[in-house]
């Protein structure tokens, strides 16, 4: 055994850590003097070396040293083993730490409370809080007692598994037991609350415990980390004003925000569309001499992409490179996604190629982004080619990869390929998620594969797979669209028996379904019942009702309801406006249709292809050439291309409309644009979700 350890040690010495010590021997080190004698050090010497330099150690070396230490008799102190375990834990190689622990126990060494704390933290970080608790109930009971560090890890573990309530219960319990939470405990709980979208609770905790009115004995003096966590959490939930307030408060307390704090605040502001404010804080930060790093640049690049400024985002990428800040895979996938969202698939592809050229590892997210880009513009062959390339790049597809591809395949009607891909999931050891089943159900229904959809649905119901209301929504929508209103109604009635609560989406689907299947009275009855009960309906529900009313010729009623939306604090979407515009056009009320179109533009709601088509159709029908010209111009401004339309062609064909001919030729849709239009229409096809 000892010789095996010696061999292992000499390998380590040749390989890494020690060789660098030979090159740069530390002054006045007796260990180095030993080493320069070119004899293989004994395990004990090795242990001494390790203890001296464990700060710069890598995981492999730590594991080897650990094994060596296990051979030493008498055993080195437990603290030395803990130190090495701590080093490995810092690298997030939790499985290795657990392995080390078992080796230790196997060698009859008695772990102390720190060993157990490290072990528990590893289990918690791996989302196995149950095993963490098992350690507390087992080893801990025998040897020593858990302390505040133990409980902090357990609280983190519960939060990571989304058991926020349990985490709060544990927090209160330990206070009841007389423990004083440390600043780490507070930070962990705040982070856990913010992670689960409970930033308001975190803020309340901060206010209660931070003031003199708090529970007796409970003191909380937040530090930089606590503030950063709380600010980011609040901003993420759209409570940007509260985040800013806290930002000022911490400054007032003399705690100066650092890069992480600014990043969290700026991220929140960007996500909430408060671009100017974000810029203001960014400038303040730079003025304070804090340099942005790759994470903040990525946040900014995402924000630019989200507001349609991919060119600027691209410029920012170049700027960060110029400034010597290396982009990472997050940065690249963010910008690639920005390009894909604008259908600039070639730019995304070039970036993807650039990553390879620069020697960057292209991770699964990069692949997923590009695959999604290809799916969005209906280039499924390319998407599948990328999928097949992933293996070559040693990149394992995730459930997101499969869900993306399945969605894309169903959208272009490639049901056979979707089916084949689904069976491949098992080969790739990827477990389908409830989203996967939703995509399959939706895909089968939309491609008129009613039998398959029903089969899958019944298999799922029988399999014991926990179906949530979202899945039922897809089935209900499928039934309604397939004209099977009887099945939909029956299933809808049965939801409570299954312990499921219909959501606003469920109700919207049913209202739309009733209208579509000519049960207008039932649709309105459901709508009125919901309104009277105080159930909060959203703009989609109202859009479904408006659409139904318009279709049954109740334009007056629809107009009244539309006007009432504003009182309810609801903001009409492009779909809502298009529905109303369509209603007016169909009834020959072109003036009303047009004024609503102007209104939506004024409100900052961008008209889309469907809006333009509806209006264009209306104005063509009444031969209003000047309006058609105006609309064509507006479309061109928005980079939207008209569909080839017979009536539009007739107007343009008229000799008297030379300017129109010219304009139409300039905006003549190419094959690619026609495909994009088709893709957009499919995406927007009366989707309630």
Partner DNA sequence: GTAGGGTTAG
Site for DNA in 255-274 (CB under 7 A): 257-261, 263-264, 267
Shortest distance, position 332 Cβ to DNA, whole Å: 7
**How many residues lie near DNA (CB under 7 A)?**
77
Q: Residue 452: count other Cβ atoms within 10 Å of its Cβ.
A: 17
Tell me the helices (H) and strands (E) count for the chain, helix number first: 41, 0
Query: Judged by CB under 7 A, which of 436, 446, 473, 677 binds DNA?
Result: 436
Residue nearer to DNA on the CB measure, 327 or 618: 327
User: Of residues 273-302, which lie at the interface with DNA (CB under 7 A)?
Assistant: 293-296, 298-299, 302
Examine residue 115 and tell whether it contacts DNA (CB under 7 A).
Answer: yes
Helices (H), 323-430: 329-341, 345-357, 364-376, 380-390, 399-411, 415-427
Examine residue 112 and tell whether it contacts DNA (CB under 7 A).
Answer: yes
User: Of residues 329-348, which lie at the interface with DNA (CB under 7 A)?
Assistant: 329-331, 333-334, 337
Query: Judged by CB under 7 A, which of 328, 608, 667, 684 binds DNA?
Result: 328
Examine residue 64 and tell whether it contacts DNA (CB under 7 A).
Answer: no
Q: Residue 178: left (phi > 0), alpha (psi -120 to 50), or beta?
A: left
Stretch that binds DNA, among 114-122, 210-218, 348-356, 580-588 (CB under 7 A): 114-122
3-class DSSP state of 421:
helix
Token code pair at residue 190: 């705040």
Stretch that binds DNA, among 19-27, 62-70, 218-226, 555-563 (CB under 7 A): 218-226
Cα angle for residues 98, 100, 106 (degrees, 5° grid): 105
Residue nearer to DNA on the CB measure, 295 or 555: 295
Residue nearer to DNA on the CB measure, 98 or 510: 98
Shortest distance, position 271 Cβ to DNA, whole Å: 8
Stretch that binds DNA, among 6-14, 167-175, 219-227, 343-351 (CB under 7 A): 219-227
Helix then strand then coil, % of the chain, to nearest 5: 75, 0, 25
Residue nearer to DNA on the CB measure, 361 or 494: 361
Residue nearer to DNA on the CB measure, 397 or 583: 397
Residue nearer to DNA on the CB measure, 293 or 657: 293
Stretch that binds DNA, among 402-410, 474-482, 582-590, 650-658 (CB under 7 A): 402-410
Q: CA-CA distance, 461 to 455, in Å (whole number)?
A: 10
Examine residue 400 and tell whether it contacts DNA (CB under 7 A).
Answer: yes
- C-alpha separations of 149 from 93, 114, 116, 174, 182 in Å: 20, 9, 10, 12, 8
Query: Judged by CB under 7 A, which of 12, 82, 489, 543 binds DNA?
Result: 82
Token code pair at residue 188: 């962990």
Largest CA-CA distance found in the chain, in angstroms, rounded:
104
Examine residue 148 and tell whether it contacts DNA (CB under 7 A).
Answer: yes
Stretch that binds DNA, among 148-156, 536-544, 563-571, 607-615 (CB under 7 A): 148-156
Quick one: which of 622, 613, 635 has its CA closest to 587?
622
**Residue 290, Cα to own-chain centre: how many angstroms?**
28
Shortest distance, position 365 Cβ to DNA, whole Å: 4
**Which positions from 152 to 191 touch DNA by CB under 7 A, shown as an x/- string?**
xx--x-------------------------xxxxxxx--x
| Burial environment of residue 509 by CB neighbours within 10 A (0 to 12, 13 to 18, 19 or more) | buried
Stretch that binds DNA, among 166-174, 217-225, 486-494, 582-590 (CB under 7 A): 217-225
Q: Residue 661: count other Cβ atoms within 10 Å of its Cβ.
A: 14
Q: Are 67 and 102 in contact (CB under 8 A)?
A: no
Shortest distance, position 578 Cβ to DNA, whole Å: 23
Q: CA-CA distance, 529 to 534, in Å (whole number)?
A: 9
């Amino acid at each position: 055994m000892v010789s095996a350890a010696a061999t292992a040690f000499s390998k380590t010495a040749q390989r890494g850590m020690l060789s660098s010590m030979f090159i740069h021997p530390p002054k006045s080190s007796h260990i180095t003097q030993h080493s320069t004698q070119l004899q293989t050090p004994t395990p004990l010497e090795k242990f001494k070396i390790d203890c001296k330099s464990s700060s710069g150690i890598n995981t492999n070396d730590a594991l080897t040293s650990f094994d060596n230490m296990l051979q030493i008799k008498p055993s080195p102190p437990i603290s030395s083993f803990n130190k090495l375990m701590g080093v490995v834990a810092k690298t997030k190689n939790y499985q290795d730490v657990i392995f080390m622990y078992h080796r230790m126990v196997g060698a009859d060494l008695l772990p102390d409370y720190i060993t157990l704390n490290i072990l528990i933290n590893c289990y918690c970080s791996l989302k196995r809080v149950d095993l963490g608790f098992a350690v507390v109930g087992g080893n801990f009971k025998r040897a020593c007692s858990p302390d505040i560090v133990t409980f902090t890890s357990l609280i983190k573990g519960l939060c990571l598994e989304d058991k926020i309530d349990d985490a709060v219960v544990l927090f209160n319990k330990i206070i009841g037991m007389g423990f004083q939470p440390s600043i780490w405990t507070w930070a962990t709980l705040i982070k856990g609350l913010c992670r689960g979208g409970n930033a308001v609770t975190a803020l309340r905790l901060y206010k209660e415990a931070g003031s003199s009115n708090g529970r007796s004995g409970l003191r909380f003096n937040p530090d930089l980390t606590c503030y950063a966590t709380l600010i980011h959490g609040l901003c993420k939930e759209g409570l940007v004003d509260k985040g800013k307030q806290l930002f000022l408060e911490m400054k007032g307390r003399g705690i100066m925000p650092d890069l992480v704090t600014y990043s969290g605040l700026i991220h929140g502001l960007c996500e909430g569309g408060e671009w100017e404010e974000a810029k203001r804080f960014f400038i303040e930060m730079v003025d304070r001499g804090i340099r942005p790093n790759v994470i903040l640049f990525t946040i900014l690049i995402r924000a630019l992409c989200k507001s349609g400024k991919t060119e600027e985002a691209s410029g920012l990428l170049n700027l960060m490179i110029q400034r010597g800040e290396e982009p990472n895979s997050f940065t690249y996938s963010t910008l690639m996604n920005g390009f894909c969202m604008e259908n600039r698939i070639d730019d995304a592809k070039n970036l993807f190629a650039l990553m390879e050229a620069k020697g960057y590892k292209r991770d699964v997210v990069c692949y997923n982004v590009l695959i999604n880009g290809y799916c969005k513009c209906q280039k499924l062959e390319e998407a599948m080619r990328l999928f097949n390339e992933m293996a070559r790049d040693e990149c394992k597809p995730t459930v997101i990869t499969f869900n993306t591809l399945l969605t894309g395949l169903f959208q272009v009607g490639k049901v056979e390929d979707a089916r084949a891909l689904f069976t491949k999931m098992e080969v790739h050891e990827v477990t389908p998620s409830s989203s996967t089943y939703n995509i399959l159900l939706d895909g089968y229904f939309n491609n008129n594969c009613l039998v398959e959809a029903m089969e899958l649905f019944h298999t799922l119901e029988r399999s014991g797979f926990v179906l949530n209301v979202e899945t039922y929504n897809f089935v209900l929508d499928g039934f309604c669209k397939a004209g099977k209103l009887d099945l939909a109604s029956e299933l809808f009635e049965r939801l409570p028996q299954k312990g499921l609560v219909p959501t606003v989406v469920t109700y919207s689907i049913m209202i739309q379904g009733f209208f579509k299947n000519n049960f207008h009275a039932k649709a309105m009855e459901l709508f009125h019942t919901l309104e009277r009960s105080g159930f909060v309906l959203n703009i989609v529900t109202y859009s479904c009702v408006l659409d139904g009313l318009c279709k049954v010729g109740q334009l007056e009623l629809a107009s009244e309801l539309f006007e009432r939306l504003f009182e309810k604090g609801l903001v009409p979407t492009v779909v809502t406006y298009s529905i109303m515009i369509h209603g007016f056009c169909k009834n020959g009320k072109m003036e009303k249709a047009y004024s609503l179109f102007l209104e939506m533009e004024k409100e900052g709601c961008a008209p889309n292809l469907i809006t333009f088509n509806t209006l264009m159709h209306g104005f063509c029908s009444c031969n209003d050439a000047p309006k058609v010209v105006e609309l064509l111009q507006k479309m061109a401004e928005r980079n939207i291309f008209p569909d080839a339309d017979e009536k539009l062609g007739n107007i343009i064909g008229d000799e008297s409309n030379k300017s129109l001919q010219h304009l139409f030729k300039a905006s003549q849709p190419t094959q690619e644009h026609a495909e994009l239009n088709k893709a957009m229409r499919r995406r927007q096809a009366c989707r309630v979700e």
